[in-house]
Amino acid sequence: MIIIKSASELDSMRRVNQMTARVRNAVAAHVKPGITTQELGDFAQKLIREAGGVSAFYGYYGYSGQICTSVNEEVVHGIPGRRVIKEGDIVSIDTGIAFESFMGDTAVTVAVGAIDPEKQRLLDVTKASLDAGIAKAVEGNRLGDISHAIQTVVEAAGFSIVRDFVGHGIGRDLHEDPQIPNFGKPGRGPKLRAGMTLSIEPMVNMGKNKVQILDDNWTVVAKDGSASAHFEHTIAVGKTKAEILTLV
């Protein structure tokens, strides 16, 4: 069942997602050569605590990080640890916060210094695919319209959509109905209604779309070792235009 949020619930979603976006931006700005992903996680924990929230990820099905930090070939769910960030890396910062009984969720992939032009194109295309998907999050459209818009942008650029992991509804729970694949046919799936809140999150590989999970049971990597990018906004479906709740 897809939950339609009331006006007061949407206000709560705005508050937590603005908080989440501010932490995302601060952690992303903290990324630099020589820092470890654990230091990024510790920094995020400090910011979340100061904001009055708690990590939505920590302890979720046993996840041990405050945020997810995924570097280069790591697609999603990288656990902060000893990995040292280097010049030329790309780093995905996925942040989730629980506050006043509601959830925020957002991700961005950032360049560390000067990066390979093809990596930069990967970031640009992934962000553009997210924008294309959000543009379809309008009352009367179908869920498949979001999925198809994302897939079209990515594949036209010669990159691959990760199909094993998807976006999702969000609200009082981090993952609510519906699941939102980043590929599919337009005009299919549930009809969108104003007040639905969705986390749309394309995960895009420079090479092939096959992935595998490492021995830590969380970190997802591109099976061919190619670079991967991940962008995510939480939005509210609108009557004529989506409201991006994680835009600051």
pLDDT tens figures, 196-213: 999 999 999 999 999 999
Give the position of tokens 């543009």: 135
Q: What DSSP line would sit under 147-194, residue for residue?
A: HHHHHHHHHHTT-EE--SS-EEE-SSSSSEEEEE-SS--TT-SSBP-T
- Strand pairing report for 211-213 and 220-222: antiparallel
Distance, C-alpha 206 to centroid of its chain: 17
pLDDT tens by residue, the chain, 248 residues: 999 999 999 999 999 999 999 999 999 999 999 999 999 999 999 999 999 999 999 999 999 999 999 999 999 999 999 999 999 999 999 999 999 999 999 999 999 999 999 999 999 999 999 999 999 999 999 999 999 999 999 999 999 999 999 999 999 999 999 999 999 999 999 999 999 999 999 999 999 999 999 999 999 999 999 999 999 999 999 999 999 999 99
Handedness of CA 17, 165, 30, 116 (dihedral sign): negative
177: tokens are 């109905």
**Bond preceding residue 186 cis, omega within 30 of 0:** no
Residue 85 near residue 91, CB atoms below 8 Å: yes
Residue 235 near residue 242, CB atoms below 8 Å: yes
- Strand pairing report for 220-222 and 243-244: unpaired
Question: Closest Cα to residue 14, out of 201, 236, 242, 180?
Answer: 236
The H or E element spanning position 103 is strand 102-111
What is the pLDDT, as a whole number, of residue 1? 93
For the chain, what is the total number of helices (H) and then of strands (E)?
A: 4, 15
Q: What is the CATH number of domain 7-244?
A: 3.90.230.10
* pLDDT tens digits, 31-50: 999 999 999 999 999 999 99
229: tokens are 């990018």
